[in-house]
Amino acid sequence: MIRLTSRIASAAALIALSLPAFQAVAQDQAQTAPEVSAPVPAEAPVFPKPDPANFTAATPTKDVVNAFLQASWGYDETRIWQVQAILKTPVEGISKVVVFVGDKTGKQKPSALQFFTLADGKHIIAGEEIVTFGEHPYADNRAILQKRADGPFHGSPNKDLELVEFADYQCPHCKAAQPTMEKLATDFPKARIVFQTYPLVRIHPAAAVAAAYGACVAKQGGSDAFFLFTSTVFDGQDGLNSPDGTTLTLNSAVTKAGLDPAKIAACAGEPATKAQVEAMEKLAQDLNVNETPTLAINGRLLPIGAMPYETIKKIIEFQAKQDGVGDGK
């Protein structure tokens, strides 16, 4: 479930890494293009030569920008780009970066993206989003997750390749993403795949109590019980739409997981459990997770609600290679 609904095309390109604006343009052109007798071979775009006068900022360097874009887009062997400008702004330490982007096949119309790098050298503003930046843009997030992502997990006990799913029990898109997560567990058996509950309480009133129940199930029954509980709650997700339905749905899931609903309910009401749920929310907020489901791949945040499975898989393999770790297979 998208938490912040306003999505600027350039920000979506940098965050979701799929350049939806380019795809939309290509689709529109395909629908309105005149008929021709034979297809015209597409060619890679030729970007205009950058003007040295447009590189007036001392930081970031072109090498740093290219390293950032390689870290973000390098999984896509058809994507090409050119840094066109790095400009000073009236604000000390903030630079404006302009990048031309296209693809080698020529099937997508090239376009320009712009973003502003901040004085800390670690973040940019793209549209309405703040995005991590630098030669290794996901390293800080990775360190935070290795320390604080404490949800139940499948797979490896080590954190060389760590996939952290941020999900809300009442989020329909999270329910729809569960087959994807199950397939990832099959395809990457040596990865550590963590379920990190992120209740979006402003729009999902039952999410926090469901998260509390889940935390208690994990505490009393371990990971196997937790994942059975979680699967059952998602299967009966419509029951979370009313207070009575929430109680029935959660108790049924606890029973199916082999635990005592009364004991889990008592645990869920304890202050320590409430604090644990608040810590789950704080972790997601500190990482700027702004929608569920989001998958963090060694700190790289990837909204996966509408992303094709093969793209997710390719990004995981690419990120593992970037970090110099095994691919989890």
In a domain? residue 119: yes
In a domain? residue 328: no
In a domain? residue 73: yes
In a domain? residue 281: yes
Task: Answer yes or no: do 145 and 119 share one domain.
Answer: no
Cα–Cα distance, 210 to 221 (Å, whole number): 16
User: How many Cβ atoms are within 10 Å of 140's Cβ, its own excluded?
Assistant: 15
Task: Answer yes or no: do 115 and 144 share one domain.
Answer: no
Pick the last residue of a domain from 137, 156, 186: 137
In a domain? residue 75: yes
Q: In what order do the strands lie in the sheet with 123-126?
A: 79-88, 95-103, 111-117, 123-126, 129-132
Pick the last residue of a domain from 101, 120, 137: 137
Task: Answer yes or no: do 158 and 258 share one domain.
Answer: yes
When pLDDT is averaged across residues 243-270 and rounded to a whole number, the result is 97
In a domain? residue 327: no
In a domain? residue 3: no
Q: Is the pLDDT of residue 210 over 50?
A: yes
Task: Answer yes or no: do 38 and 132 share one domain.
Answer: yes
The total number of structural domains in the chain stands at: 2
Task: Answer yes or no: do 145 and 288 share one domain.
Answer: yes
Q: What is the pLDDT of residue 241?
A: 94
Categorize the per-residue pLDDT at 42 as very low, low, confident or very high, splitting at 50, 70 and 90.
low
Percentages helix, strand, coil for the chain, rounded to the nearest 5? 45, 20, 35
Task: Answer yes or no: do 186 and 52 share one domain.
Answer: no
206-215 burial string, b = 16+ CB within 10 Å, else e?
bbbbbbbbbb
Categorize the per-residue pLDDT at 24 as very low, low, confident or very high, splitting at 50, 70 and 90.
very low
Q: What is the CATH number of the domain that holds 195?
A: 3.40.30.10
Categorize the per-residue pLDDT at 10 as very low, low, confident or very high, splitting at 50, 70 and 90.
very low
In a domain? residue 4: no
Task: Answer yes or no: do 152 and 213 share one domain.
Answer: yes
Outline where the chain has alpha helix (H): 9-16, 20-32, 62-73, 139-148, 172-187, 207-235, 243-256, 261-268, 271-286, 309-322
Report the mean per-residue pLDDT for the chain: 88
The 10s digit of each residue's pLDDT in 67-103 is 999 999 999 999 999 999 999 999 999 999 999 999 9
Task: Answer yes or no: do 178 and 311 share one domain.
Answer: yes
When pLDDT is averaged across residues 147-159 and rounded to a whole number, the result is 95
Q: Is the pLDDT of residue 254 over 90?
A: yes
Task: Answer yes or no: do 145 and 92 share one domain.
Answer: no
Task: Answer yes or no: do 149 and 129 share one domain.
Answer: no
Task: Answer yes or no: do 153 and 227 share one domain.
Answer: yes
Pick the last residue of a domain from 121, 137, 153: 137
Task: Answer yes or no: do 124 and 173 share one domain.
Answer: no
Domain that holds residue 114: 9-137
User: How many Cβ atoms are within 10 Å of 174's Cβ, its own excluded?
Assistant: 27
Q: Which residue has the tokens 């593992």?
A: 320
| pTM of the predicted model as reported, rounded to 2 decimal places | 0.85
